[in-house]
Amino acid sequence: MAFNYEFPYTDPNLYNDDWLLRKMKDLLTKMEDLDEWREQHEAQYEELKKLYDDIISGNFPDSVIKAFYDWMSVNALDLVASLIKHVYFGLTDDGYFCAFIPKNWSDIHFDSVTDFSDPLYGHLLLMYD
């Protein structure tokens, strides 16, 4: 009868000590590797933590200010364009007055005063839900 010595057995008479010892050795090796990795990267971690703490406290390093300025120089127009949209008014081909309203203005309703006695008669009203 051939036994597979790669995995532990459930039968207590057939315990595979080699498997247990190999797993413990692998665990110890990985723990040592983790300690080495931590020692190598601890200085970088401390540097990043200091940078993070400076940014959170409002003391922006010059490198962060320059990077933000460079990013804004490239992306500011697109950022503003995506947030602020304009309503355009014009005439249709049939001669009717119309408003071209962007989708992000869906909460704003356009109306006009139709009561002749109202001093705002004919004015355009913008109502927000």
Report d(CA 27, CA 107) in Å as an integer: 59
Domain boundaries, the chain: 12-83, 88-128
Tokens of 81: 């364009």
The structure's pTM equals: 0.37
Band (pLDDT 50/70/90 cuts) for residue 70 is very high
For 95, counting Cβ atoms within 10 Å of its Cβ (0-12 exposed, 13-18 middle, 19+ buried), the class is exposed
Q: What is the mean pLDDT of the chain?
A: 82
DSSP string, 37-54: HHHHHHHHHHHHHHHHHH
Report d(CA 99, CA 87) in Å as an integer: 7
How much is the pLDDT for 119? 92
Report d(CA 88, CA 86) in Å as an integer: 6
Mind listing the pLDDT tens digit for each residue in 93-119? 999 988 888 887 788 888 889 999 999
Band (pLDDT 50/70/90 cuts) for residue 1 is very low
Mind listing the pLDDT tens digit for each residue in 11-68? 656 666 777 788 889 999 999 888 888 888 888 999 999 989 988 998 888 888 999 9
